[in-house]
Structure 1
Amino acid sequence: MKKSSIWFLLLFTLLSCKTNNSGNKEIINSNISNTISHTEDKGIIAQDSSSPFNIPKAIQKYYSGLTFPMDNKKLYEELAAHTISKHTNFLGYGERHKYLYNIDEDPQNEKNVILIYSGNSRNKKEYSSGKNPHKIQTFNTEHVYPQSKIQNTARGDLHHLRVCDQKINSQRSNHPFTEGKGVYKLINGNSWYPGDEWKGDVARMIMYLNLRYNEPFSEVGNLDLFLKWNAEDTVSEIEKQRNMIIEKVQGNRNPFIDNPYLATFIWGGKKAENRWE
């Protein structure tokens, strides 16, 4: 990639991004440079140029200004710049308590949340915190991309924080993801299978972390695995709910929830659902 193209992308990102502290601009500059390097060796996946994406009306405003180039490197760069620039509210990790329990709310019971991996519906009051006066505390916060492997503001990013049973969260620890079958399980004592009903959710969250922060896939599994899961486990209602509410809180969305096929177009692998046909 020519240097002039890189600087144009950096300039575009700085001009379009609104941030609540000066340090975030340095993070954005670094992420864009890493994004360009990350996709440099990828090939082009052919697509009929006469059939552009048909973005649903409800999210057309959010994606306005994007060209969705039919070149996977350019699309990755454009989506990364857009996702970064739309992220205007940077939350500290402690602030999650204000939002997470509404984000993960059980669609069938507003008093409960849905726990990742187990799928259990649990009373919102049972969250684990020293400041929680409720005597029964059974669930805490799972970093789908382990916080021990994160070196930036992703620690408080709601797009990969999920409520989780405390015992299951401890069992998962910071183990990388691996292939499996059935319900969640620890495999060989050092790897984690999230379960058939959650593997797509996990894949799309990990892809978001790569797009937004350039977090490597190799720290938590591998890209081929996540592409497979993204195709096999379609977007759930809880994912759609989370994406909508998190946009209102942080300003940005997870584009792989809006359209899983974007991941196929960028990285290849088994074709995922194209929700913008």
Structure 2
Amino acid sequence: MKNYLGAFVVLAAFSQWANADVTNGDFEYWTSGSPDGWTTIDAGIDVSQTTSAVYSGASAASVRVTTGTQASTDLRQTVAVSAGQTYHFSVWVRHTEGHVAARLYVDNYLDYSNHTLTGQWQQLSYSYTASSSGTIEVGLRFYDQSGFDGSEVVYVDAFGPAGSSGGGSSSSSSSSSSGGSGSGGSSGGGSYYQSASGLSGYTLKTALHNIIQGHTARAYGELWDFYAANDLDYYYENDGSILDIYAERPSGSDSYNYTPINDQCGNYSGEGDCYNREHSFPRAWFGGAIAPMNTDVHHIFATDGYVNAMRSSYPFGEVASISVISSNGSKLGSGQSSQGYTGTVFEPIDEFKGDLARAYFYMATRYQDVIAGWENNSSYGDAMLDGSSNRVFESWAVQLLIDWHNSDPVSAWEIDRNNAAYYFQGNRNPFIDHPEYVESIWGQ
């Protein structure tokens, strides 16, 4: 067994049920060279602020291990947990020389990082369910590998959700991102929405637009990295495969599963061949591969490539007569006359209707300043868009989206994904954080 080199305690916890408090979890605040809120820094480990190797926000922690003496290499913070509550822990690490492995610790020793991945960020994550109320230790422990010379740096940053809601799941995922974006540290409450407090109607919508606009546009290829770290099934089968909203069977085994990264499309000839990047708000509607809409992860999901193509750029709706159906029951066909649109529509399964409705309300708000001009980009887009910047959607579409939003409440995965998106590109979906905003804006 390799020598134990140290423990560096890190934590972030965002969930539908509980939020363990962490002081200065994003390492943005430092006093006299030490990170605020971290209570135990031993002599054998040097911790300093860096602005050159950052996953999110303006700074990160540079951790240099200089000794193999276990008793002098800890950086700790203790967090309180409540019995029966689930906490989603995650941290991003970046190796430099590749001779130290980081191991996640959440009340126990868990997965190791891949120390051979140098110069890129990778995520360690774990979903922990507390068996009793009290406090636990959480963090990272570093183990030397072949070639360790007694001094090596590992960068640590961006505590966000792991994409899991059940207890006892652990994962390590890599990202080729050289640095993240966003200001870090908000879980959707507090000061983030302060300027929207007390508002309603389209005045509220404009205030939300001003809050969430200006996010950092990521590269299109970085969406794969986001999926590999965050769009993982720790909610249904709990197997860590890609969570595909067009293939997931919430109450049974999926017909097929995708391994992150390895099963990216690629060519496909049928369902189950590979997963793709599905613009739930089709990019033809906003004019093509145009930034930042084309890489805005709040509306782009990992889905089966074949079903993605089947959906094409048709509007969402309730299907009356089925033309094609996917393995999990997602349907393409003519729309129901009762909904007010009988053209071809695509209907996802009930489990994800609310997710997609909230993605659409996000798009209507984030791109309020330009969306009025999108109506004529596509005949299918024209079916849902009304050419305005306030209501945005045709009457039938507004009612459909509100119905889907109400019938399928915000899920643990949406909360986790929203937090991860905040670290990834620097803004949030207000309608996940505050579902009541939908009624306040469109329910009048």
Match of 2:219, as an amino acid? G
Please state how far the C-alpha of 1:111 moved relative to its aligned partner.
3.9
Q: Please give the alpha-carbon distance, in whole angstroms, between the structure 2 residues aligned to 1:206 and 1:69.
A: 23
Secondary structure of the structure 2 residue equivalent to 1:123: coil
Please state how far the C-alpha of 1:237 moved relative to its aligned partner.
1.8
Contact persistence 1:68–1:78 (CA under 8 A)? no
Q: Please give the alpha-carbon distance, in whole angstroms, between the structure 2 residues aligned to 1:64 and 1:234.
A: 21
Secondary structure of the structure 1 residue equivalent to 2:359: helix
Of 210, 223, 226, the match for 1:96 = 223
The change in CA–CA distance for 1:64 and 1:208 in structure 2 (over 3 A counts) is closer
Fraction of identical pairs, as percent: 30
Q: Deviations over 1:202-222 (max 9, x none)?
A: 100011111001346972631
Q: Please give the alpha-carbon distance, in whole angstroms, between the structure 1 residues aligned to 2:430 and 2:333.
A: 30
More strand by share: 2
Q: Please give the alpha-carbon distance, in whole angstroms, between the structure 1 residues aligned to 2:218 and 2:239.
A: 24
Q: Which residue of 2 aligns with 1:77?
A: 206
Contact persistence 1:83–1:252 (CA under 8 A)? yes
Secondary structure of the structure 1 residue equivalent to 2:223: helix
Q: Which residue of 2 aligns with 1:28?
A: none
Q: Which residue of 1 aligns with 2:295?
A: 156
Q: Which residue of 2 aligns with 1:145?
A: 281
1:24-35 superposed matches below 5 A: none
Please state how far the C-alpha of 1:154 moved relative to its aligned partner.
0.5
Q: Please give the alpha-carbon distance, in whole angstroms, between the structure 2 residues aligned to 1:67 and 1:147.
A: 29
1:210-249 superposed matches below 5 A: 210-214=364-368, 215=371, 219=381, 221=384, 222-249=397-424
The change in CA–CA distance for 1:196 and 1:252 in structure 2 (over 3 A counts) is same
The change in CA–CA distance for 1:64 and 1:167 in structure 2 (over 3 A counts) is closer
Q: Please give the alpha-carbon distance, in whole angstroms, between the structure 2 residues aligned to 1:251 and 1:61.
A: 16
Q: Which residue of 1 aligns with 2:94?
A: none
Secondary structure of the structure 1 residue equivalent to 2:366: helix
Contact persistence 2:193–2:208 (CA under 8 A)? no
Q: Which residue of 1 aligns with 2:188?
A: 59
Residues 1:190 and 2:344 aligned together: yes
Residues 1:107 and 2:234 aligned together: yes
Of 408, 426, 438, the match for 1:251 = 426
Contact persistence 1:183–1:196 (CA under 8 A)? no
The change in CA–CA distance for 1:255 and 1:64 in structure 2 (over 3 A counts) is closer
Please state how far the C-alpha of 1:67 moved relative to its aligned partner.
4.1
Please state how far the C-alpha of 1:194 moved relative to its aligned partner.
1.1
Of 345, 361, 375, the match for 1:207 = 361
Secondary structure of the structure 1 residue equivalent to 2:365: helix
Please state how far the C-alpha of 1:260 moved relative to its aligned partner.
1.5
The change in CA–CA distance for 1:111 and 1:249 in structure 2 (over 3 A counts) is same
Q: Which residue of 1 aligns with 2:263?
A: 126
Q: Please give the alpha-carbon distance, in whole angstroms, between the structure 2 residues aligned to 1:62 and 1:99.
A: 26
Residues 1:166 and 2:320 aligned together: no
- Per mean C-alpha deviation after superposition, the further-off stretch among 195-204 and 180-189 is 180-189
Q: Please give the alpha-carbon distance, in whole angstroms, between the structure 2 residues aligned to 1:64 and 1:235.
A: 18
Match of 1:107, as an amino acid? Y
Give the TM-score, by structure 2 length: 0.43
The change in CA–CA distance for 1:71 and 1:65 in structure 2 (over 3 A counts) is closer
Contact persistence 2:266–2:274 (CA under 8 A)? no
Q: Please give the alpha-carbon distance, in whole angstroms, between the structure 1 residues aligned to 2:404 and 2:319.
A: 11
Please state how far the C-alpha of 1:60 moved relative to its aligned partner.
2.8
Please state how far the C-alpha of 1:259 moved relative to its aligned partner.
1.9
Secondary structure of the structure 1 residue equivalent to 2:258: strand
Q: Deviations over 1:112-137 (max 9, x none)?
A: 1110122144221211148xxxxx95
The change in CA–CA distance for 1:233 and 1:139 in structure 2 (over 3 A counts) is same
Q: Deviations over 1:118-170 (max 9, x none)?
A: 2144221211148xxxxx95111110001111234201101111111112111
Secondary structure of the structure 1 residue equivalent to 2:241: strand
Structure 1 residue runs without a partner (length 5+):
1-56, 131-135, 270-277
Contact persistence 1:106–1:112 (CA under 8 A)? yes
Secondary structure of the structure 2 residue equivalent to 1:241: helix
- Per mean C-alpha deviation after superposition, the further-off stretch among 90-99 and 241-250 is 90-99
Q: Please give the alpha-carbon distance, in whole angstroms, between the structure 2 residues aligned to 1:116 and 1:171.
A: 14
Secondary structure of the structure 2 residue equivalent to 1:126: coil
Give the TM-score, by structure 1 length: 0.67
Q: Which has the higher contact order (CA 8 A, sep 6+)?
A: 1
